[in-house]
């Protein structure tokens, strides 16, 4: 079942058109293109559009999903990685009445972390390209008694209207995205004026220190992929801060989307 609040927020990510719900299918109101809803999860992807690194990681996470929670809960703490959750929760500002989007929610670890730190929200939407990860996330959410609306989609083309979320965040996937710039700009597009945004992933230092067996699963496409994607954050965003977490092994960028009067003041500045 789709949560009622979701449908009015959604668009066809490829045409930008609104969607109508008919039985268990979302239909583009102008083109008639349809998107199935699989066990309550709208599948907002055209398979032929998932290519390059996105396809590689979609497939990889579709089988990694069976081990992901074990790696995160049992193996990562052996290397002190559990500490980073504390640091993330401290930085993220989430309130009870917020509508929150996590792009690349995975099995839901970051949401559990926020809830553990008393940072509950009114409505939480989680999007991921891997259905396997979403299936695990749904199971976890039941265990945590958390109400999440999950969507299968690509973080580079979000299936949401402009300006709907109070908090938009992403942790842990963007280094290996096919198009990081689109992923950042899409997060900003769907954020309300005044919304808080957070983008984090590992740095090269983590790669150097983690066991080489882990690195084998991450294929380095070359270039400076472990750098925080600050170059894609538009100049008019406010309070742009780059935090260093986990002893330099992770970055987290935080910023605020200006409201229109702040934007006008900025544009009017000489
Ligand atoms: C390391 S996991 C992080 C999951 C979660 N955010 C966490 O911190 O535990 C990376 C996630 O990014 C997802 N992902 C990779 N490419 C994506 C894309 N283009 N769009 C959406 N999700 C993507 C993967 O399926 C995977 O679930």
Q: Which two tokens stand for residue 200?
A: 């984090």
Confidence (pLDDT) at 4? 87
Query: Which residues are bridge partners to 148 per DSSP?
Result: 124
- From residue 158, give the alpha-carbon distance in Å to each of 11, 76, 246: 8, 30, 29
Confidence (pLDDT) at 270? 44
One pLDDT digit (tens) per residue for the chain, 270 residues: 788 899 999 999 999 999 999 998 999 999 999 999 999 999 999 999 999 999 999 999 999 999 999 999 998 898 888 889 999 999 999 999 999 999 999 999 999 999 999 999 999 999 999 999 999 999 999 999 999 999 999 999 999 999 999 999 999 999 999 999 999 999 999 999 999 999 999 998 887 776 655 555 555 656 688 999 999 999 999 999 999 999 999 999 999 999 976 766 665 554
Confidence (pLDDT) at 221? 56
Number of alpha helices (DSSP H) and beta strands (DSSP E) in the chain: 8, 11
For residue 106, the ligand 1 atom closest to its alpha carbon is 27
- In total, the chain counts a number of residues equal to 270
Residues with CB under 6 A from ligand 1: 54, 57, 61, 103-106, 109-110, 128-130, 133, 154-156, 171-173, 177
Domain boundaries 51-268, corresponding CATH code: 3.40.50.150
Pairing of strands 250-256, 191-202: antiparallel
Q: Whose CA is nearest to atom 1 of ligand 1?
A: 172
Q: How many CB atoms lie within 10 A of CB 77?
A: 12
Cα–Cα distance, 2 to 56 (Å, whole number): 29
Provide the whole-model pTM.
0.94
For residue 62, the ligand 1 atom closest to its alpha carbon is 25
């Amino acid at each position: 079942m789709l949560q009622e609040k979701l449908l009015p927020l959604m668009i066809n990510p490829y045409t930008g058109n609104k969607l109508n719900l008919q039985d268990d299918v979302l239909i583009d109101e102008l083109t008639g293109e349809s998107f199935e809803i699989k066990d309550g999860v709208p599948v907002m992807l055209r398979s032929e559009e998932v290519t390059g690194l996105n396809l590689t990681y979609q497939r990889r996470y579709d089988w990694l999903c069976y081990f992901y929670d074990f790696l995160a809960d049992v193996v990562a703490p052996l290397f002190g990685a559990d500490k980073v959750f504390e640091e993330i929760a401290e930085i993220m500002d989430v309130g009870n009445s917020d509508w929150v989007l996590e792009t690349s929610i995975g099995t839901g670890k970051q949401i559990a972390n926020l809830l553990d730190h008393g940072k509950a929200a009114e409505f939480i939407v989680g999007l991921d390209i891997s259905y396997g990860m979403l299936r695990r996330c749904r199971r976890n959410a039941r265990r945590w008694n958390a109400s999440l609306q999950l969507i299968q989609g690509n973080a580079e083309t979000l299936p949401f209207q402009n300006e709907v979320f109070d908090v938009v965040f992403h942790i842990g996937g963007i280094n290996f995205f096919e198009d990081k710039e689109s992923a950042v700009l899409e997060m900003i597009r769907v954020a309300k004026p005044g919304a808080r945004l957070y983008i984090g992933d590992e740095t090269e230092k983590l790669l150097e220190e983690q066991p080489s067996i882990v690195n084998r699963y991450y294929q380095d496409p070359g270039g400076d992929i472990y750098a925080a994607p600050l170059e894609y954050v538009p100049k008019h965003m406010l309070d742009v801060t780059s935090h260093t977490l986990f002893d330099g092994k992770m970055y987290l960028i935080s910023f605020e989307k200006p409201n229109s009067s702040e934007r006008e003041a900025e544009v009017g500045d000489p």
